[in-house]
Amino acid sequence: MANLATNFIGIKSPNPFWLASAPPTDKEYNVRRAYEAGWGGVVWKTLGSEGPPVVNVNGPRYGAVWGADRRLLGLNNIELITDRPLEVNLREIKSVKRDYKDRALIISLMVPCDEDSWIDILKRIEDTEADGVELNFGCPHGMAERGMGSAVGQVPEYIEMVTRWVKTHSRMPCIVKLTPNISDVRKPAEAAKRGGADAVSLINTVNSITSVNLDSFSPEPMIDGKGSHGGYCGPAVKPIALNMVAEIARNPETHGLPISGIGGVTTWRDAAEFMALGAGNVQVCTAAMTYGFKVVEEMISGLSQYLDEKEMTSTADLVGKAVPNVTDWQFLNLNYVTKARIDQEACIKCGRCFAACEDTSHQAISMSEDRVFEVMDDECVACNLCVNVCPVEDCITMIELPRGEMDTRTGERVGDYANWTTHPNNPGATAAE
C-alpha cells in the first residue's frame, strides 16, 4: 500500500487531505468530527483581532449554481471570518490539538494591515500548539472593504510586508493564501516568497454574483431585498485553480515553493491532478459541505489505489509529475495530427456531434438518411468538440495519424511542419529564423 502520510513544510499529517478554512472548521465540535472521519489536517476558520466585532448576516449566506441533474457545481458565500470570540476559538484549538497530535492543525489569520495588530494576534495564538498559520489574503467580500483579505492579496508589496512581519514575530511555519482575483498570480506568490513564506495556498474564492432573482431583481443570496458579491468555490472553479497552481509551480522565481492546492477538490482524482501540478497537499471545503465529512474516505482509498497502480510508494512521487509537460502555446508540437473516429456500435444516433460540428465547427461529420454519422477526414481539424459533446463515453475518440501519413485537409504530410518558432504562419517568426 502506498504511504499517504505527508510532511508539508515540516507539518506532518497521515494523509494529504486537509479541510480548508471555512464554515466546516469554525468550532471544536466540527473539527473533532472531521478528524474522526479521517481528515489529515484542518485549517481553522479565520480568526481576527479583538477590534470592531465581526457580525454576519442572519439571512441566507450562500448562492448556488447547479448542473442539469441539480448536482452542486458552485457555491457563492457572503459569510465573513469567524464571529465567535477569539478566546473561545483559542481555547478550543488548544483542546483539539492536545487530543489529535498526529493531525495537522493550522490557524487562519486576518487582521488589519499594521505590524502591531499582527504582533498581537501572533502572541495570542502562540501557546495553542497549532502547527502553523495561514495568512488569509484572499477573501473577496466584506473584509476586503475593510482593507483586509483580497485588498492585501492584490498588492504584492503588502503581501511581502505582512509575511515578513509574521516570520519575524512567530516561530510557526507560515502559509500565504492567495486570491485568484488578480491578473497574474505569480506576482503575489513571488512576493510571499520574498517575505519568507514557507508555502502558499490557492486558490481562495472567486469574486462573483451567482444569480439574480428576476422577481425581486436582487442578487442572490438576498438579504432584505438586497444582495452583494461574494466568494465562489466548488467544482466549477477547479480549472482556474489548476492553472494558477501550475503557473506558480513552473515559474522559475517560485521554483521549489511548496503549494497547498485549493479549489473544487471533490474526488481523489481532483486531488491527484492538483498534486501532479505541484501541490504538496490539498484543501477541501465545498465537497465536505455537500456530502459531509466522510467524503474523505473515498479520497483516501482512491488515491491510495491510484498510487499503487502507478507503482508510486508515496504522495511525494506524484507531486509535480505533470509540471514539465505544462508549456506555453508557441511550444506545442504542430507535427502532431489527430482525427476523430466514431464507434458505430457505441453510437446512439442522437446527432449531437453532427449538430455541433455542422453549426459551430468545421462541417466535418456527415449524416446518412438512416442517421449514420461519419467523420470526413478532409474537413476534420481535430478540434475534438464532437468528443466533448457526445453523451456516450469513448464513443468518439481522437486517433493520432502516424508521421508521414497524408493530411488530406492540408495536402501536407504529417511531420512536414517546421518547428513553430520558424513556421511561416507564426507572426513572431523572423526572416533570420
Judge whether residue 130 has pLDDT over 70.
yes
Catalytic residue numbers read: 139
Looking at residue 150, its pLDDT comes to 73
Give the other-Cβ count within 10 Å of 12's Cβ: 15
Least confident of 18-22, 221-225, 322-326: 221-225
Q: Which three cell numbers stand for residue 321?
A: 509529475
Burial group, residue 210, by CB count within 10 angstroms (0-12, 13-18, 19+): buried
Residue 1 pLDDT grade (very low, low, confident, very high; cuts 50, 70, 90): confident
Cβ 148 vs Cβ 110: under 8 Å:
yes
Q: What is the mean pLDDT of residues 151-179?
A: 93
Looking at residue 226, its pLDDT comes to 87
Looking at residue 398, its pLDDT comes to 96
Q: What is the mean pLDDT of residues 243-253?
A: 98
Looking at residue 195, its pLDDT comes to 97
Three-class secondary structure of residue 174 per DSSP = strand
Q: What is the mean pLDDT of residues 346-359?
A: 97
Looking at residue 406, its pLDDT comes to 58
Q: Which three cell numbers stand for residue 146?
A: 475593510
Residue 407 pLDDT grade (very low, low, confident, very high; cuts 50, 70, 90): low
Judge whether residue 429 has pLDDT over 60.
no
Say how far apart CA 278 and CA 32 lie, in whole Å. 29
Least confident of 146-160, 238-252, 304-318, 411-425: 411-425
Looking at residue 231, its pLDDT comes to 87
Residue 402 pLDDT grade (very low, low, confident, very high; cuts 50, 70, 90): confident
Give percent of the chain above pLDDT 90.
Answer: 76
Q: What is the mean pLDDT of residues 185-212?
A: 95
Q: Among 43, 67, 73, 211, which residue's Cα sits nearest to residue 135?
A: 43
The residue type of 112 is P
Looking at residue 409, its pLDDT comes to 63
Give percent of the chain above pLDDT 70.
Answer: 90
Instruction: Go through 358-388 and write b for each residue having 16 or more CB atoms within 10 A of its CB, e for each that does not.
Output: eeebeebbeeeeeeebbbbbeebebbebbbe
Residue 188 pLDDT grade (very low, low, confident, very high; cuts 50, 70, 90): very high
Please give the domain boundaries of the chain with CATH numbers for all domains: 6-325 (3.20.20.70), 329-422 (3.30.70.20)
Looking at residue 144, its pLDDT comes to 63
Q: What is the mean pLDDT of residues 18-43?
A: 97
Express each pLDDT in 283-340 by its tens digit. Answer: 999 999 999 999 999 999 999 999 999 999 999 999 999 999 999 999 999 889 999 9
Say how far apart CA 190 and CA 186 lie, in whole Å. 6
Express each pLDDT in 34-91 by its tens digit. Answer: 999 999 999 999 998 876 778 778 878 888 999 988 999 999 988 888 889 999 999 9
Q: Which three cell numbers stand for residue 75?
A: 457555491
Q: Which three cell numbers stand for residue 336?
A: 502532431
Mean pLDDT, the chain, rounded, equals 90
Say how far apart CA 284 and CA 263 lie, in whole Å. 7
Say how far apart CA 265 and CA 282 lie, in whole Å. 8
Instruction: Considering only residues 139 and 365, tell me which one the structure prediction assigns the higher pLDDT.
Output: 365
**pTM greater than 0.85:** yes
Cβ 212 vs Cβ 277: under 8 Å:
no
